[in-house]
Amino acid sequence: MFSSFVNQFYRTHSVSIFYGYGHGKFSLPVIYTTGYDSLPSSLASGDFNNDNYIDLAITNYDTNNVGILFENSNRTFEKQIVFSTELDFHPYSIAAGQFNDDEFADIAIANSETHEIGVLLNNANRTFANQATYSVGYASPYTVDVQDFNQ
């Protein structure tokens, strides 16, 4: 298995996956839509349904949601499933991590218009709990990262 890379296209409302062949060579892009006027701004990978396949979480800035593309066993992805971040939150950046010690990948989101970081806890059934938010004060967050800073 070789590393692949993925990127999002803000103005074309899509993400592209370039599968690695090894020796620094990659496939042509496989494109998945994120929906009309979604304006995807960031993405994170993780196994969000514990099936041992890497899924993608995408912040859709203009449609105020997080989209999940679940990977299938044949290296294709299902149609995007969306989870709302509420109107005018404008999710900008995303990261995956373990926030509640249940072995399911959760999601952190930088909501640029509300001065908050949002957290979507994984319900373990291909859904997420409603977004919990945490104020960052008067600044607009544009990036978020996840690490265990308590160690």
- What is the per-residue pLDDT across 17-48, written as a single tens digit (0 to 9) for each? 999 998 899 999 999 999 999 999 999 999 99
Q: Evaluate whether 106 touches 123 at the Cβ level (below 8 Å).
A: no
Which helix or strand (DSSP H or E) is residue 141 part of?
Answer: none
| DSSP state, residue 29 | P
Identify which of 4-8, 10-14, 19-23, 112-116 has the greatest average pLDDT. 112-116
- d(CA 110, CA 29) in angstroms, rounded, equals 27
Domain ranges of the chain: 45-135
Match 């839509």 to its residue by tokens: 33
**Would residue 63 be called left, alpha or beta, if left means φ above 0 and alpha means ψ between -120 and 50 degrees?**
alpha
Residue 150 banded pLDDT, cuts 50, 70, 90: confident
- What is the per-residue pLDDT across 78-123, written as a single tens digit (0 to 9) for each? 999 999 999 899 999 999 999 998 999 999 999 999 999 999 999 9
